[in-house]
Homo-oligomer: A and B are copies of this chain.
C-alpha cells in the first residue's frame, strides 16, 4: 500500500467526526492553526530554506524560486488567510429546500461536507495552508499532495497545522499529507475511488491535464483560459481599446487574460491600426492574419514610427495560434467577416469555455453573443479579467472551473459540499 492510500484511509476515518464539528468548533480550529503557523514560523522558514537550497542546486529558474520562497511575512499571510476563512459563513448546514410531501413526510435538503477532499498542487508551499483551511472550514478532511520542490516546506506546514487542529478538538488525521515525492503516489491518489470524494488540482496545465485524464475519482477541472475579445463593428473604439489592453496586459500569466482578439472586418481599417499600435507599444507580440497585416501596412491612421513598431511586433498567425494560451505578452488577431455568428463559432471551436468578451453597442449582437458562446462567463463591454472569486464576491476562491458539472466559473467553499435529503416520517410506507 502506497502512502497515498494510507493517507486517504486515515483521512476517511477522520472525515466522519470532522463532519460533525459545529461551525464554532471549526472556526476556532482555523484560528488556532493560524496562531500555530505564526508560532512555528522559524521552523517553517528553516524547512523552506532546505527546499530553496535543493531547488537552487538543481538550477531552478528564478520565477519558480520566487513562488517557492517563504519568509516571516509570507507565513504571516498564510495565518491571516486562515483567519479570513474563519470569518466566512459556514457552507454546511444550509437548508436548500424544505417541504412536506403529500404523504406527510417532511423533506429537507441540507448541505453537508463532501468527506475527503484531495488537493494536488505544485511549488507554492502556501497552498498547503489555504487548501487545508478551506477543507476544514467546510467540514472535510483532506489529503494534500504538494510539489516535490516544496516538499519540506509543505510537510512542515501541514504538521504544524495538523497538531494545532487536533489540540483544538479536530480529529486526528483531519489533515494528511503525502510525504513521499514519488510520482506514483499521485497516480495512486487519482485511483482511490470510494476514498477520495473530490480531487482538485491547483497548478499548471500539465498537472491538470494529468489529473483529468488519469483520475477515477471525481475531479474539478480548473485553469486553462484561451479567452477572446470580439470587437464588433458598432463598438466604441476607445472602450474596445481599453478593454483589450486591460484583458491582455494587466496581468499576463493568468487564466482570465485575453489571448485572442477578433475584429469585425467592417472596422478593421479604422480600428485595427490603433489597437495594434497600443498592443505593440506595450510590447505585445501580435500573431495576426493577413487582413491584420494588410490593415496596418495600408493604414494612414498610423505614422511611420507606429507602423514600424507594429511591424516589428507582428508575426503571421498559424492555425495553432487560434488555440494557444500564451500566458505572456502575446496575442492572436483575426478578422471576422461573418458577423457575430462567425465570432461565436470561432470561440466555441478554439476557446476553453472560460471567459469571452464582446464589445458592441448593438443589443441584439450582445444577446446573440451571450446566448451562443459556450463559456463559464460571457461579458458585454467589460474585461475578461473580472472572472475571479474575489471580483464576483464569492469569498475564498478555490479556483475557476472550466467544467460544466457541479460548479462552473469561479468557485468557493460551496463546491466542497454536497447535500443530503433528510426525510422525517411517522411510519409511512409506500403503497
- Which A residues fall within an 8 A CB radius of B? 16, 19-20, 99, 101, 103, 105, 107, 114-115, 193, 197-198, 212-213, 216, 218, 220, 236, 239, 242-243, 245-247, 250, 348, 366, 370-372, 374-383, 385-387, 391-393, 403-406, 408-409, 418-430
Contacts and interface: CB of A to CB of B under 8 A. Distances in A.
A74 B280 CA distance: 68
Nearest to A379: B423
A141 to B, nearest CB: 13
B198 A405 contact: yes
A372 B115 CA distance: 12
12 contacts: A16-B372, A115-B404, A212-B216, A218-B404, A242-B429, A245-B429, A366-B424, A376-B421, A379-B425, A381-B427, A381-B428, A405-B418
A216 B213 contact: yes
Nearest to A393: B101
A409 B421 CA distance: 8
Contacts of A404: 114-115, 197-198, 218, 418
A285 to B, nearest CB: 21
A381 B213 contact: no
A414 to B, nearest CB: 12
A419 B424 contact: no
A246 B429 contact: yes
Given A16-B372, A429-B242, A429-B246, A218 B377 contact: no
A422 B409 CA distance: 11
A385 B403 CA distance: 33
A132 B391 CA distance: 39
Given A380-B425, A381-B427, A403-B218, A372 B420 contact: no
A423 B101 CA distance: 38
B386 A428 contact: yes
Nearest to A345: B16
B393 A430 contact: no
Contacts of A403: 218
